[in-house]
Every structure is written in C-alpha cells, then in structure tokens.
Amino acid sequence: MSDALLKFLAGTFLIEIPMIFSWVVFLSASGAFLFSNHRFLKSRTPIFYFLLLGATAAFRFFISFFETFVQYYVWKKNPITNIFLAQPLDANVPIPKFISKIFFAHPHGAFLYYAWMHFFLNVFLSILSAVIFYYFLVFLRKYRERFFGEEEIILGTLMALVVGWPNIVLFVPAALLLTVLSSIVRRAAWGKNYTTLGLPFLVSGFTILLFGKFMIDVFRLGGLG
C-alpha cells in the first residue's frame, strides 16, 4: 500500500465518509417522514426506517473494522510500533473480568485492547444508548400515546443511532425540549394541545449532526467518548 493511499484512507476517507453516510441516512429518513402519506411509502415507512437502522449499525461496524485494519498496517510498517502487535495486554490494566481473557491471553492483546478502546467502544455505546432510548420511548408511549405517530419510535431510535455517542446525550434533551416548545406553539397558534415527536426528532438530529462537535466542546462532554 502506497503512503499516499494510506494517508487518504487514514485521513480523508475515515473522516469524510462516515459524516457523508450520516447525512445520507438523515436525508433518507427525513424524506420518508415528509412523504409518509405517499401511496408507495404509506405502509412501508417502518420497514424503511428499520433498513436504515440496520444499515447504520452495519456501517459503523464496517468503519471500526476498517480503522483497525489501517491501524494494524500503520503499526506493522513501523519497526518501533510493530513490537506492540505481538504483545498481550499488561495484566495491570483494569478491565472487566468477563473480557479479560480476550486481551490478557491473546498474543495480540495489546493491539486488540487499543482497537477496542479507540474504534469499537464508541459503536457499542452508540448502539446501547439507542436501544435504551428505544425502550424509553416504548415506556413513554404507554402513558402518553397521543404524542406518538405510528413509526416515530423507530425514527427516534434511528436518529439516536445516527448522531451516536456521546452526541445522544445532547440529542435526547433537545428532542424533548423541542416537543414541549412545539406543543406550546401549536396550542397558541392553532388551538391544538398536543404534538407528535417525529419532527422534533428530525430537527434535533439535524442540529446535532451540524453542531454536535461544537456543542460537546461547549458543554465539556468530550470525556464521555
């Protein structure tokens, strides 16, 4: 692999492609929401959201594996870092017991631990937080069903996964706040007491995708992930 190609893959590709993919998913979900009453989408919108969910999770894992491959290749080319590729993890590193054998016993344990912390942990936290948010919405629907359209739980989960960790920490309160504000405006302007969550999910997702990194820095949440 040439140095120019390696620089492109480790730089431009791994920085730009994930962001482009996130925007493609967001725009696809927005289109499905806005045209959900179209005869082609009317009964297929939930399926479409599920496909986007699956594609987003799969893409995140693909990028993590690709980052691991690139990192391995970079370390292998350097005689100094090449040493770390054939070392188990130091036994003094504090990690949960149920995964300790993977890193301590494996001859490439140090590199596997590095890949886990830098490339895979964020993916698992993103998926876990999206799943928790899904069940939170399911719980909320039992008591506030009037706030929900048919597919909005899936849409909310999709937006949570798209913005990812730690941006979801900003996304959830932003979506709930927008729902309250939207309800107040609808009541004042049109006399309607309630609003649904679909549009606030999309507006919050758009805002976090656009300004998430800046907001994470402002609120000093960088330590979360």
State pLDDT tens for residues 82-113: 887 877 777 677 776 666 666 666 677 788 88
Mean pLDDT (the chain) is 84
Most confident of 4-18, 53-67, 136-150, 178-192: 53-67
Residue 5 CB coordination number (10 Å): 10
Stated pTM of the model: 0.87
**Whether pLDDT at 134 is above 70:** yes
pLDDT score of 2:
64
Q: Kindly report, residue by residue over 40-87, the tens digit of the pLDDT.
A: 666 678 889 999 999 999 999 999 999 999 898 888 888 888 887 877
Q: What are phi and psi of 11, to 5 degrees?
A: -110, -90
Q: Closest by alpha carbon to 32, among 198, 197, 147?
A: 198
CA distances 107 to 100, 116, 144, 188, 189, Å, are 13, 15, 53, 66, 66
Residue 93 CB coordination number (10 Å): 12
182 band by pLDDT with thresholds 50, 70 and 90:
confident
pLDDT score of 85:
83
Q: Report how far Cα 138 is from the mean position of its chain's Cα atoms.
A: 20
Higher pLDDT, 161 or 84: 161
pLDDT score of 41:
65
| Residue 83 DSSP code | G
Mean pLDDT for 202-225 is: 88
